[in-house]
Amino acid sequence: MISSNRQHTLAADLQFEGIGLHTGKQAQLRILPGEANTGYVFVRKDLEGAPSIEAHVSNVGETLRGTTLQSGDVSVHTTEHVLSALYASGIDNAVLELDGPEVPILDGSALPFMSQIEKVGSTEQEADRRFFKVRKNISYRGEDGVEMLIVPLEEDEFKVTVMVDYNSPVLGTQHARMENLGAFKTDIASCRTFVFLKEVASLAEQGLIQGGDIGNAVVLAERAYSESELKNIAQALGRETLNGAADQPGVVNPSDLRFPNEPARHKLLDIVGDLALTGRFIQGHVLAARPGHAANVAFAKELAKVIRAQEDLPDFRTDRESLMDINDIAAMLPHRYPFLLVDRIMDMDDKSITGVKNVTMNEPFFQGHFPNNPVMPGVLQVEAMAQVGGIFALSTVEDPENYSTYFMKIDGVKFKQKVLPGDTVVFYLTLVSPIRRGLVNMKGRAYVRGELVSEAEMLAQIVRDRAPKEES
């Protein structure tokens, strides 16, 4: 569980060195503390100008047997293991300097990274941690029966449940589960990447697993292999021997699996590393059937869309102190009963404003709209929205009591759901463009219980229509 609400970075530098799983090239990785709100950033120190790549799902390139970050001609391969370690350790910000094209594979798991992170510790930063609280189910369905789903949790935890099925005599259906990020180090971090022996030659021909061996991957044989077959596979990798026994079906590595379901647990590890690319600590329960990097990334992109939409939302809490009450509002707006349609202003800055309307059965418009089926008229929702925008506009002049705002244009009006007696409507308006010559262009949205009920884009003009009162 990520219990802190503040961002953290590493307390000291870390250094790792080793071969890349797919490129087969040696590389040194330095992980340095990062500034608040920077997230994870890879830097290719071996290239001219030391170009950087933000570890975000929008920068993902290839996903074949690993997750590659790409920006122009610059790439970093196999990022998922180190990212899962940083994420599960509660590190928000870090700079990852590489002198090669791929993160060292080390033993094929996340444990070497996580152990060193734990050893140096972390430092709290002066910035709020960025969470993504799942509010409704989000799903993804890909090819070959791949399904991924995230569902809300009452508690603020990140859970993952994985099912894999390879239709294999040595690796049948397996499940793995992580109850929270706190369990990652003990239950997931040590689980290594894996490959079927029958795939090795083909992957090598594709230019992959050039640095793979039984020291950094679990190799599974579905049948007995002859010495000549093993020699041919080794030659495909540019090796003299595989240094493993495959005279019977099972694990080729001399050591046993670290868990009976180590492959499923490693798939869970990959999910954590790939979802770290959302840039948010997720609070929800991920359920994944037959996942892989392509599906993980596609799912992360779906989450990123929801995150962008969700973070462009107001604070829906109405049980907090307001910025303006009804008396403050009446002092600024000329509207009066029954046409004053905003009760409180909760927040306002230089680009947005949030207002509240408590809808009761005593509203005069319910008498005729409609008998025995009271519904707040859409036109009055837009009017209430405009009044909130009017308060924003008038707050930009020194003597708002001498000004009014008038509609010039309304575009993109949409009504999504009915507003009924007992509803509390939260109006959130954002400035579309800077105010010029008294013209105010705002995008307005109305929400009930966090769900969008109506929206519109409005253009209004601030007009001085009253002379300043002379001082007595």
Residues labelled catalytic: 293, 369
**Count of CB atoms within 10 A of residue 186's CB?**
9
For residue 371, the SS3 value is coil
Q: Are 51 and 106 in contact (CB under 8 A)?
A: no
Separation CA 127–CA 122 (nearest Å): 14
The residue among 84, 108, 79, 91 whose CA lies nearest residue 183 is 84
Token readout for 105 is 């594979």
Separation CA 421–CA 287 (nearest Å): 38
List C-alpha distances in Å: 107 to 6, 18, 111, 329, 414. Answer: 32, 10, 8, 64, 55
Separation CA 259–CA 261 (nearest Å): 5
- What is the C-alpha R_g of the chain? 29
Residues paired with 431 in a beta bridge: 442
List C-alpha distances in Å: 325 to 3, 155, 242, 346. Answer: 35, 34, 75, 9
- Strand intervals (E) in 239-315: 250-251, 281-289
Separation CA 246–CA 230 (nearest Å): 8
Q: Are 442 and 457 in contact (CB under 8 A)?
A: yes
For residue 185, the SS3 value is helix
Q: Are 445 and 432 in contact (CB under 8 A)?
A: no
| Amino acid type, 276 | A
Token readout for 42 is 């890879």
**Count of CB atoms within 10 A of residue 78's CB?**
24
